[in-house]
Amino acid sequence: MLSGKRIIVGVSGGIAAYKSVLLVRLLIKSGAEVQVLMSPFSKHFITPLTLSTLSKRPVLSEFFDQTSGAWNSHVDLGLWADAFVIAPATANTLAKCTVGLADNLLITTYLSARCPVFFVPSMDLDMYAHPAVTDNIQTLRARGNKIIDADSGELASGLDGKGRMAEPERIVQTLIEYFSTSDTYKYTVLVTAGPTYEPIDPVRFIGNRSSGKMGYAIAEKLAEHGANVLLVSGPVNLKTKHPNISCTHVETAAEMFEYARKIFPNCHAAVFAAAVSDYAPEEVSKNKMKKSDTDPVLRLKKNPDIAAELGKLKTEQQITVGFALETENEIEHAQQKLHAKNFDAIVLNSLRDTGAGFGTDTNKVKIIDKHNTIRDIELKSKTALAGDVCELIFNLLSTKK
């Protein structure tokens, strides 16, 4: 199942290190070649002898061999591996990988690795829920790393909650899926969703009726196929469920743009499902604006067009898909947007169709591609339509090899 795959298992210093013993054994049984890297502190929990016996290779931990002076090249290790699994990944190791604090061989190898990296966090529930840790996990995910989410249950501290390292069987299963299924597991996709709110004063804003349902449904579908999804969402009443989705909440178009621009270079694809406000008040009043006898005038300024700006940065290997909501000359306007924003395809909603557009659970669309091929999709639930969009993205990505 993992026959011939070269896997580095990085063990950092947490009590769940005892489970790494079983992980190494299962990987070897599945046919993988395993190289174990131990952080110095992890040796307090398990011995290198146990892991070297099971992996059939000397365990590496130091930058060089203390007696022979031989250099343990993190660069060679990083190039050798087909996958790097860091299990357990403690809060400390997650933080070091996030900021690039290269003070042990596990971290230098992580920084040199060209293969996919799977972090398997393990720690006490309050640590796991701490914003410092969740932010680091989010950053690592946004850089294209995979996170094998912790389980809930009894913890070494005696407390009960989320933080238990995923069972070795689940880790091995994830790797088998990663190597055996199609490329969908390898993709990182940015999805924008929901409206943006543009403040007028501390209590008022300009917004729109977008529910975010379409974008969230696409994010869920992509995640179900194994993709690493970076969802950036305006204010909506929705929650993401899938562990492959990392959701960043923003309010304004400027915030959405800032985040999307930062992560887009790490993405294979982007889906622009957000209903971004085209304009924002030129000035935001610091205090609540008082009612006056004269009619107030609100000056607006143009917001960044996120899709168009990222379309300019798009490389030959990336694909982007946009949405258009039109009320007249629908196809012509959608085609103009497709070209102006450098999309590979555009999903066209017409407000004239019943059951389509904002707030509804259903949608009726046409998908238009760069060659102006038009595909009519019948009225269906947004979840079912998300499946079509997902298929479209994977098909477009498969042409990029």
Residue ranges binding ligand C5P (CB under 6 A)? 192, 253, 272, 274, 276, 278, 303, 305-307, 322-324, 337, 341
Contact 171, 164 (CB under 8 A): no
DSSP secondary structure of 199-253: ESSSS-EE-----SHHHHHHHHHHHHTT-EEEEEE-S-S-----TTEEEEE--SH
> Shortest Cβ distance from residue 380 to ligand C5P (Å)?
20
> Shortest Cβ distance from residue 45 to ligand C5P (Å)?
48
Q: Which one, 78 or 212, has the nearer CB to ligand C5P?
A: 212
Identify which of 283, 16, 280, 386 has the alpha carbon closest to the alpha carbon of residue 171. Answer: 16
Q: Which one, 129 or 351, has the nearer CB to ligand C5P?
A: 351
> Shortest Cβ distance from residue 377 to ligand C5P (Å)?
17
CA distance 93 to 107: 8
CA distance 339 to 327: 19
> Shortest Cβ distance from residue 358 to ligand C5P (Å)?
13
CA distance 186 to 32: 19
Contact 163, 128 (CB under 8 A): yes
DSSP secondary structure of 182-213: -GGGG-EEEEEESB--EESSSS-EE-----SH
> Shortest Cβ distance from residue 232 to ligand C5P (Å)?
10
Catalytic residue (one of 92, 208, 266, 342) = 208
Q: Which one, 33 or 220, has the nearer CB to ligand C5P?
A: 220
208 is catalytic: yes
* Structure tokens given for 15: 């009590």
Residue 112: burial class (beta carbons within 10 Å; 0-12, 13-18, 19+):
middle
- 3-state SS, residue 310: helix
CA distance 188 to 229: 6
Residue 153: other Cβ atoms inside 10 A: 10
CA distance 3 to 323: 43
Write phi, then psi, for 131 (nearest 5 degrees).
-55, -30
Kind of pairing between the strands at 362-369 and 345-350: antiparallel
> Shortest Cβ distance from residue 90 to ligand C5P (Å)?
38
> Shortest Cβ distance from residue 7 to ligand C5P (Å)?
39
Q: Which one, 23 or 218, has the nearer CB to ligand C5P?
A: 218
* Structure tokens given for 113: 């690795």
Q: Which residues are catalytic?
A: 208
